[in-house]
């Protein structure tokens, strides 16, 4: 037993020549955001945003609100590298940095609209398979270039930019843009239809909707996408079809998307008072469950019924002018919301032609095997469907 | 202070055998094998796993019934009693090959999993060193000590698995479960049957049962433990089916690793990779030690029983060399051999114990 | 061994005992005397006197007292002497209970059948317990232990009176097992007092205290205590055999006995319990364990010990169940922190950065930016520094102890952080780990945890959580394969988690295999039916 223990200790001593994966924390540089832009005919511009910990711990937060002041975010360092693929770019970062690059705290991946279908698919799959990257990493689409968006990020209330990204991508926080995680995005664009959606991210300064409209793909701009702001923001959503962006929807439609998916548990909607000029009515909607979809494909075209319940609350001490009772007020709210949701579905069906609400999943239930579902041509059914929206206030 | 010398066998007097069984039936969760279910069955992976689980439980139930009627349930001893000296030797040799292949595949997979989770730059032999030394050490201390260690670690491993399953199953997407028959009934109930390979390591248990025990064999507890292990495996596949799209799972991926990455508990507990590495490593080390002990018992029956204590370290060294070689050999050959011998092992158990009823019991071996 | 003119057949001295033989061989001048030849008390007083003066080296030892006197035997005087160690025997008893009755003339031979020895024995016994011993070896041992031997001319035996009067500590309060709600008595260095402390709690006539002297020269009295009818006979026999088979010259404390009788000296955790509380020893005896009390040591050994026993503290039995369970939970957390926290920290810091919350990671990175040392080295240096402080604090004199605490804690700790030699987080880790070790219920366990944590640190540094898994597995297997007097070490591993109410402790621990399993009926609260 003694000899055996000594032998084991001898064998184990070989592990002392190891520590191959040992890394000191202060010898590592952590990427907190990644931007991917198309560069010319081949290759990409990769923007690696590194956290500067010394600046993070000394920084008190606040990016300054002076007009026209383009103060850079001191807590991050942006390195832009042109390379044919991601791993080449990652290796090239060591030409600039002395520390080992680590992606285990990557919070946000931003694509620009110039990236093609292959680029989206390839990069997102690489990221998902990458050991260090989490499947919950947020993904967004920049309305300008990803580099511009990342460089314009300068959080006011957080000292740590990574925390800013994390909190921004929390589902319950942002009403006017969806949240999309890397795993869901990869799953959706890898599917047969390649239908997905991403939040749109706009850098500070004047927005450039023409950058989207002038795309060779011939996008349709729906709603008010002309975002004017000095601050970088996430508002609106980009709809993907066949793995590439097909349309941009504004914040209102993004809110409806969030409501129907119950990605937000409550929100406040403001409707114009039809009975009084320059007057607005605010309601709080608490969403108890996601919307339910039922399909009647016996009719041609098929009918899709959308049922959603709300717990509604009116903000106001008194009954607003022009309304004789609260029943009248709430039925007005009912009609307005129903109309907005119907418009939303018609735009998805006839405009974008993309089932981002995944109504097809409930349709899938009626088939026994995947093969039968795939041959049922759900896409053509959706793009010609009639929608019945049924709202009830609890 | 026990009347029975259970040093080299699993004792039924304390509850440790319960945890040994659970570990034997669940440790394959950490291997590549659960990817068989979504690979063959698509969205019906959970259904396929449930079907395999039911079949496996049925087999265990049948074996347990025959255990009741036989007073020497240890496979090696029963084989000698049933088939005579030559037949017994053949059964022992086949069992030895089953154990060897299972250990080789397990060791290789454990090392790859550890490398995938946290050690991408480390050489393969470095990671293998820890598993091999721990298995040799564990096997050298006796099965009794191993069984006690199971009763400490297996509850922790099960708890970790439950945390993993609960964390992912409620965030999953129910639409991943439809269509209900996925790739078709034939794939689910035909090819999906190959998923029963997850439970074939029960062979180790039957090699380590005490040959002539004064304590009665607790059949109810064996069945309860088996049901628990199988249920846990099925729940794992269900969580996998709900949370990870089948398109992401490939032949080379570890489903456990993919599922583990899906866990997210807010900004503080962001990743539990290291904890999962801990529980998967512990489960693997426990299994490898038990495998080595079983092999030493079988090899002792084949060769000189007095040299039995020397066998585990050489066995582990052999397995380590095979594993390093298997890295360069075709995975298809290794995979085929593994499947073949895994099912052969369980078949041996069934046949031996089935025929054992008809022989005169208490034959001097 | 050369024994001179001694006839080996009649030699009652132990030929193989070098201690006895050395002083016989070297010191005794008259090797032809009856005493030397036979080893027994000679009827000739002078022979005994000369023998004993040589045996005790009376010319050099100034504390051995040879007091010559005359026994007043019914108007006849007989020469006699008594021998004792000044400081070990009570001189007042010598004068009052031995000399006075023998010299006062009260001694009379009452009948022709009564011998001189009988008369003297009867005279002394009314004053002090004494026994008649003829073996000189035994007399020498007893005198060395504080008894007083009386030799009378014409008697072929000596009268050894138990009038020990050495100075010793009285029953005090426990130092290492202090409790708030329980008894405050602790063992002292006198074995008889200790036996009495246990016996007064149990009051069981079946409580046996066997005397087993250990040490060929020191003959240190060791009491093997157990309850007949409860304790497993094989356990008692094993303990007895191990004690009797110890071959050494001197035994100084229970720690020596522990090292001689435990299964494995390199076992990471204690295999015998040590307690200085009589109530705890009594409770363990009633459960079927065996206790060994050693003269000169206030720590009693309780065997067998298992992992579950190490988690028990005396306080658990004196507080309410909820409090006891909470305290035990805190204690287990403390032990967990002591053992694993440094290893987990170093694994995560070197290999698993993804497990650290992002905010904390950047804070650590910022604080480590100016540190000159690698984190593993820093951790080991901090732990060793803390061990130094622990060792120093045991020996530092009280007057400067508190000042040293201020210097060490505030100035040195603060300066180390300000000078970027140590990071604040690491100091917190080391402090938590040390506090956790102190939370262990027993000092031996606390020290064991402090040593074992380095095992985890080593493998955590080598291979992160894989190394930790390896370290945990190997240690657990080693503990699982260990036994303490035949009882597997981890046999009651489930016990440490819960303290159950006393009315539910119906059976004795199963792993001890006691003769009597049940110690109270299922319904032990008879009043319950009345409510």
Residues 6+ apart with CB under 8 A from A199: A140, A141, A174, A177, A178, A179, A180, A234, A235, A236, A237, A238, A254
| Same domain membership, residue C412 and residue C447 | yes
Q: Which of 332-371 (A) contact C at CB < 8 A?
A: none
- Reduced to 3 states (helix: H, G, I; strand: E, B; else coil), residue C135 is strand
Residue C346 lies in a domain: yes
Mean pLDDT of the B334-341 span: 79
Question: Are B28 and B254 a contacting pair, CB within 8 Å?
Answer: no
At residue A66, the pLDDT reads 43
More confident residue, C431 or B173: C431
Encode B219-229: b = buried (16+ Cβ within 10 Å), e = exposed: eeebeebbbbb
Q: Does domain A265-394 have CATH number 2.40.30.200?
A: no
CA distances from C87 to A284, C62, C75, C158 (A): 94, 11, 34, 21
Band of residue A64 on the pLDDT scale cut at 50, 70, 90: very low
Cβ-contact A242, A193 below 8 angstroms: yes
Q: B278–C490: do the CB atoms touch at under 8 Å?
A: no
Q: Are B138 and B149 in contact (CB under 8 A)?
A: yes
Q: Do the bridges between strand A100-102 and strand A76-83 make them parallel or antiparallel, or are there none, so unpaired?
A: unpaired
C-alpha span between A186 and C303 (Å, rounded) = 63
pLDDT of residue B2: 39
Question: Which pLDDT score is estimated for A209?
Answer: 45
Rounded-to-10 torsion of CA A141, A142, A147, A150: -90
Q: Which of A58-67, A190-199, B130-139, C9-18 has the lowest mean pLDDT?
A: C9-18
Residues C60 and C25 grouped into a single domain: yes
* Among chain B residues, CA nearest to A372: B179
Among the CATH numbers 3.30.2350.10, 3.40.50.880, 1.20.1740.10, 3.40.50.300, which is that of B16-354?
1.20.1740.10
Eight-state DSSP code of residue C86: B
Could C465 and B127 be called an inter-chain contact, meaning their C-beta atoms sit closer than 8 Å?
no
Task: Indicate if C117 and C248 belong to the same structural domain.
Answer: no
Q: Looking at the partner chain, which of C358, C375, C462 has a beta carbon nearest the beta carbon of A24?
A: C375
Q: Which residues contact B43 (CB under 8 A, 6 or more apart)?
A: A370, B176, B177, B178, B179, B180, B182, B241, B246
| Pairing, β A28-38 against β A108-112 | parallel
Task: Using CB atoms, pick whichever of C359, C367, C368 lies closest to residue A160.
Answer: C359
Specify whether C129 is located in the same domain as C199: no
Q: Is C344 helix (H, G, I), strand (E, B) or coil?
A: helix
Rounded to 10 deg, the angle between the B311-326 and B273-302 helix axes is: 120
- State whether C438 and C335 are in the same domain: yes
Give residue A30's pLDDT band: very low, low, confident or very high (50, 70, 90).
very high
Q: What percent of chain C has pLDDT over 90?
A: 40
Which chain B residues contact residue A14 at CB under 8 A? 126, 129
Chain C residues with CB-CB distance to A107 below 8 A? 358
Three-class HEC string of C192-246: HHHHHHHHHHHCCCCEEEEEEEECCCCCEEEEEEEECCCCCHHHHHHHHHHHHCC
Straight-line distance from the first to the last Cα atom of chain A, in angstroms, rounded to the nearest whole number: 75
Q: Say whether A162 and C363 touch across the interface (CB within 8 A).
A: no
Closest CA to B91 of B75, B111, B107, B102: B75
Chain C residues with CB within 8 Å of chain B CB: 232, 234-235, 347-348, 351-352, 354-355, 357-359, 463-470, 472-474, 476-478, 480-481, 486-488, 490-491, 493, 511-513
Q: Which residues in chain C have their CB less than 8 angstroms from residue B1's CB? A: 232, 234-235, 486-487, 511-513
Helices (DSSP H) in B170-218: which residue ranges? 185-189, 202-207
C426 near C378, Cβ under 8 Å?
Answer: yes
- C256 and C351 part of one domain: no
pLDDT of residue C22: 56
| pLDDT over 50 at C126, yes or no | yes
Residue B80 pLDDT > 90? no
The Cα B81–Cα B365 span in angstroms is 7
pLDDT at C113: 65
Other C-beta atoms lying within 10 Å of the C-beta of residue C406: 10
pLDDT, mean of residues A304-324: 86
DSSP letter string, A280-328: EEEEEEE--S--EEEEETTSSSPEEEEEEEEEEEE--SSPPTT-SSHHH
Pairing of strands A205-206, A228-229: antiparallel
Predicted confidence (pLDDT) per residue in A229-245, tens digit: 667 888 889 999 888 88
Per-position DSSP letters for A9-73, written without gaps between them: HHHHGGGGG--TT---GGGEEEEEEEEEEE-SSS-EEEEEEEE-HHHHHH--------TT-----
| pLDDT beyond 50 at B359 | no
Residue with the larger pLDDT of the pair C134 and C110: C134
DSSP sequence for C405-426? HHIIIIIIHHHHHHTTSS-HHH
Q: Which residues contact A337 (CB under 8 A, 6 or more apart)?
A: A269, A285, A310, A391
What ipTM, to 2 d.p.? 0.92
Would the CB atoms of B118 and C464 count as touching at under 8 Å?
A: yes
Q: Give residue B164's pLDDT.
A: 93
Indicate the domain borders of chain A: 24-62+69-251, 265-394
Which chains pack against A, by 3+ Cβ pairs within 8 A?
A: B, C
Tally of CB atoms within 10 A around B86: 9
Checking if the pLDDT of A213 tops 70, the result is no
User: Could you read off the pLDDT of B14-64 as tens digits, one per residue?
Assistant: 778 899 999 999 999 999 999 888 888 888 899 999 999 999 999 888 888
Cβ count within 10 A of residue C263:
15
Residues of chain A contacting residue C371, judged by C-beta atoms under 8 Å apart? 26
Does residue C105 carry a pLDDT above 60? Answer: yes
Distance from CA of A10 to the nearest CA of C (A): 15
Query: Does C73 lie in the same domain as C153?
Result: yes
Domain membership flag for residue C504: no
Residue C499 lies in a domain: no
CB count, 10 Å around CB of A101? 17
First-to-final CA distance of chain C: 78
Contact list in C for residue B110 (CB cut-off 8 A) is: none
Q: Where are the domains of chain B?
A: 16-354
The answer to whether B26 touches B161, Cβ cutoff 8 Å, is yes
What band does B307 get if pLDDT is binned at 50, 70 and 90? low
Indicate if the pLDDT at residue C9 is higher than 50: no
- Is residue C530 over pLDDT 80? no
- The listed range with the strongest mean pLDDT (A5-9, A279-283, B317-321, C340-344) is C340-344
Domain that holds residue C437: 317-488
What are the residues whose beta carbons fall under 8 Å from the beta carbon of A350, sequence distance 6 or more? A383
Other CB atoms within a 10 A radius of the CB of residue B337 amount to 16
Spell out which residues of chain C touch residue A16, defining contact as CB-CB under 8 Å: 462
Residue B271 carries which DSSP code?
-
Residue C155: inside a domain: yes
Same domain for C405 and C321?
Answer: yes
The answer, for A130 touching chain C at a CB cutoff of 8 Å, is no
C220-263 confidence digits (pLDDT tens): 999 999 999 999 999 999 999 999 999 999 999 999 999 999 99
A51:C363 CB<8 A:
no
Q: Do B179 and A20 touch (CB under 8 A)?
A: no
Helices (H) and strands (E) in chain B, counts: 13, 0
Instruction: Please tell me the predicted confidence (pLDDT) of residue B3.
Output: 38
Number of structural domains in chain C: 3
- Among A368, A372, A376, which would you mutate to test the B interface (most chain B Cβ atoms within 10 Å of its Cβ)? A368
What b/e readout covers A24-35, taking b as 16+ CB neighbours within 10 angstroms?
A: bbbebbbbbbbb
Establish if C511 belongs to a structural domain.
Answer: no
Residues of B in contact with C512 (CB under 8 A): 1
Only one residue has tokens 């820890």, namely B130
Instruction: Say if C173 falls within a structural domain.
Output: no
């Amino acid at each position: 037993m003694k000899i055996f223990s000594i032998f084991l200790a001898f064998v184990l001593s070989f592990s002392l020549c190891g520590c191959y994966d040992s890394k000191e924390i202060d010898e590592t540089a952590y990427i907190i955001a990644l931007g991917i832009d198309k560069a010319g005919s081949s290759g990409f511009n990769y923007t690696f945003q590194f956290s500067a910990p010394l600046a993070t711990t000394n920084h008190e937060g606040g990016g300054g609100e002076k007009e026209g002041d383009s103060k850079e975010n001191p807590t991050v360092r942006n390195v832009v590298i042109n390379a044919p693929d991601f791993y080449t770019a990652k290796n090239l970062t060591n030409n600039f940095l002395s520390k080992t690059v680590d992606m285990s705290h990557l919070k946000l991946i931003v694509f620009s609209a110039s990236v093609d279908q292959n680029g989206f698919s390839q990069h997102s799959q690489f990221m998902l398979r990458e050991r260090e990257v989490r499947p919950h990493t947020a993904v967004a689409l920049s309305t300008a270039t990803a580099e511009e968006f990342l460089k314009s990020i300068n959080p006011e209330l957080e000292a740590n930019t990574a925390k800013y990204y994390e909190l921004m991508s929390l589902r319950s926080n942002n009403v006017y843009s969806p949240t999309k995680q890397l795993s869901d995005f990869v799953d959706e664009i890898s599917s047969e239809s390649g239908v997905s959606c991403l939040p749109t991210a706009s850098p500070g300064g004047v927005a450039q909707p023409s950058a989207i409209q002038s795309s060779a793909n011939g996008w349709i701009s729906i709603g008010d996408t002309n975002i004017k702001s000095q601050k970088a923001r996430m508002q609106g959503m980009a709809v993907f079809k066949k793995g590439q962006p097909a349309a941009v929807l504004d914040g209102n439609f993004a809110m409806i998307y969030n409501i129907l998916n119950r990605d937000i548990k409550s929100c406040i909607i403001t409707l114009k008072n039809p009975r009084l000029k320059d007057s607005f009515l605010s309601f709080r909607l608490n969403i108890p469950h996601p919307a339910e979809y039922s399909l009647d494909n016996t009719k041609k075209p098929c009918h899709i019924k959308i049922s959603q319940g709300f717990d509604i609350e009116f903000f106001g001490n008194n009954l607003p002018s022009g309304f004789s009772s609260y029943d009248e007020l709430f039925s007005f709210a009912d009609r307005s919301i129903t109309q907005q949701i119907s418009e939303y579905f018609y735009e998805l069906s006839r405009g974008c032609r993309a089932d981002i609400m995944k109504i097809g999943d409930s349709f899938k239930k009626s088939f026994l095997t995947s093969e039968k579902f795939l041959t049922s041509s759900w896409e053509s059914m959706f793009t010609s469907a009639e929608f019945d929206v049924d709202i009830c206030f609890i | 202070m026990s009347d029975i010398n259970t040093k080299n066998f699993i004792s039924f007097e304390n509850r440790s055998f319960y945890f040994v069984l659970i570990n034997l039936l669940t440790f394959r969760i950490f291997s590549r094998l659960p990817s068989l279910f979504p690979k063959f069955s698509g969205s019906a992976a959970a259904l396929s796993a449930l079907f395999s689980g039911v079949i496996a439980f049925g087999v265990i139930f049948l074996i347990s019934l025959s255990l009741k009627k036989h007073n020497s349930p240890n496979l090696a001893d029963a084989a000698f009693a049933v088939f005579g000296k030559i037949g017994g030797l053949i059964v022992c040799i086949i069992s030895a090959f089953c154990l060897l292949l299972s250990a080789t595949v397990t060791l290789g997979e454990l090392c790859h999993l550890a490398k995938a989770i946290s050690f991408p730059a480390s050489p393969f032999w470095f990671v293998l060193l820890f598993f091999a030394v721990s298995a040799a050490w564990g096997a050298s201390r006796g099965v009794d000590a191993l069984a006690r260690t199971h009763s400490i670690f297996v509850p922790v491993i099960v708890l970790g698995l439950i945390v993993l399953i609960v964390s992912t199953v409620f965030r999953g997407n129910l639409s991943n479960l439809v269509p209900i028959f996925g790739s078709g009934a034939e794939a689910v109930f035909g090819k999906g049957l190959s998923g029963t390979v997850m439970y074939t390591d029960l062979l180790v248990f039957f090699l380590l049962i005490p040959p002539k025990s004064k304590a009665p064999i607790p059949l109810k507890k064996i069945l309860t433990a088996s049901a628990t292990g199988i249920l846990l495996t099925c729940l794992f596949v269900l969580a996998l089916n709900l949370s990870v799209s089948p398109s992401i799972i490939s032949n080379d991926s570890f489903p456990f690793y993919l599922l583990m990455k899906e866990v997210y508990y807010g900004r503080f507990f962001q990743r539990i990779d290291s904890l999962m590495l801990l529980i998967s490593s512990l489960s693997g080390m426990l299994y490898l030690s038990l495998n080595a002990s079983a092999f030493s018992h079988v090899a002792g029956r084949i060769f000189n029983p007095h040299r039995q204590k020397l066998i585990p370290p050489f066995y582990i060294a052999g397995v380590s060399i095979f594993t390093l070689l298997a890295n360069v050999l075709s995975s298809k050959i290794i995979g085929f051999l593994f499947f073949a011998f895994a099912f052969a092992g369980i078949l041996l158990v069934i046949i031996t114990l089935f025929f054992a009823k008809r022989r005169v019991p208490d034959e001097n071996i | 061994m050369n024994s001179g003119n001694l006839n080996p057949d009649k030699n009652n001295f132990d030929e193989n005992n070098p201690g006895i033989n050395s002083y016989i061989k070297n010191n005794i001048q008259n090797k032809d005397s009856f005493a030397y030849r036979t080893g027994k008390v000679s009827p000739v007083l002078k022979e005994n006197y000369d023998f004993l003066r040589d045996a005790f080296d009376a010319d050099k030892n100034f504390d051995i007292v040879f007091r010559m006197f005359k026994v007043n035997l019914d108007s006849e005087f007989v020469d006699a002497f008594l021998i004792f160690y000044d400081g070990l025997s009570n001189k007042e008893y010598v004068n009052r209970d031995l000399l006075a009755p023998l010299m006062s003339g009260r001694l009379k031979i009452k009948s022709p059948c009564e011998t001189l020895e009988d008369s003297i024995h009867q005279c002394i016994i009314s004053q002090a317990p004494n026994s008649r011993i003829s073996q000189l070896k035994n007399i020498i041992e007893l005198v060395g232990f504080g008894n007083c031997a009386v030799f009378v001319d014409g008697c072929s035996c000596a009268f050894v009176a138990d009038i020990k009067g050495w100075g010793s500590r009285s029953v005090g309060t426990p130092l290492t097992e202090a409790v708030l709600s329980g008894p405050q008595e602790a063992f002292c260095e006198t074995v008889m007092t200790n036996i009495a402390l246990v016996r007064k709690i149990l009051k069981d006539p079946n409580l046996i205290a066997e005397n087993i002297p250990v040490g060929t020269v020191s003959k240190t009295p060791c009491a093997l205590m157990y309850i007949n009818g409860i304790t497993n006979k094989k356990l008692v026999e094993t303990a007895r055999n191990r004690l009797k088979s110890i071959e050494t010259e001197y035994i100084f404390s229970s720690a020596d006995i522990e090292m001689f009788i435990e299964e494995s000296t390199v076992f990471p955790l204690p295999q015998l319990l040590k307690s200085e509380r009589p109530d705890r020893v009594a409770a363990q005896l009633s459960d079927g364990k065996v206790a060994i009390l050693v003269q000169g040591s206030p720590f009693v050994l309780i065997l067998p010990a298992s992992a579950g026993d190490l988690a028990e503290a005396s306080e658990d039995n004196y507080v309410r169940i909820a409090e006891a369970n909470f305290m035990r939970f805190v204690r287990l957390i403390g032990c967990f922190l002591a053992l694993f926290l440094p290893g987990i920290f170093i694994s995560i810091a070197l290999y698993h950065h993804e497990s650290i919350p992002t905010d904390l990671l950047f804070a650590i990175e910022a604080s480590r930016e100016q540190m000159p040392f690698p984190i593993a080295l820093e951790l080991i240096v901090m732990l060793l520094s803390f061990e130094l402080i622990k060792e120093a604090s045991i020996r530092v004199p009280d007057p400067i102890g508190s000042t040293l605490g201020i210097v060490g804690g505030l100035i040195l700790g603060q300066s180390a952080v300000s000078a970027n030699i140590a990071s604040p987080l690491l100091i917190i880790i080391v402090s938590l780990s040390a506090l956790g070790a102190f939370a262990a219920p027993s000092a031996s366990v606390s020290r064991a945890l402090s040593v074992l944590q380095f095992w985890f640190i080593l493998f955590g540094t080598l291979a992160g959580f894989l190394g930790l898994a390896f370290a945990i597995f190997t240690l657990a297997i080693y503990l699982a394969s260990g036994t303490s007097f035949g009882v597997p070490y981890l046999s009651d591993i489930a016990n440490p988690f819960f303290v159950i109410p006393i009315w539910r402790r119906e059976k004795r621990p199963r792993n001890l295999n006691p003769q009597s399993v049940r110690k109270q009926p299922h319904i032990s609260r008879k009043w319950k039916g009345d409510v």
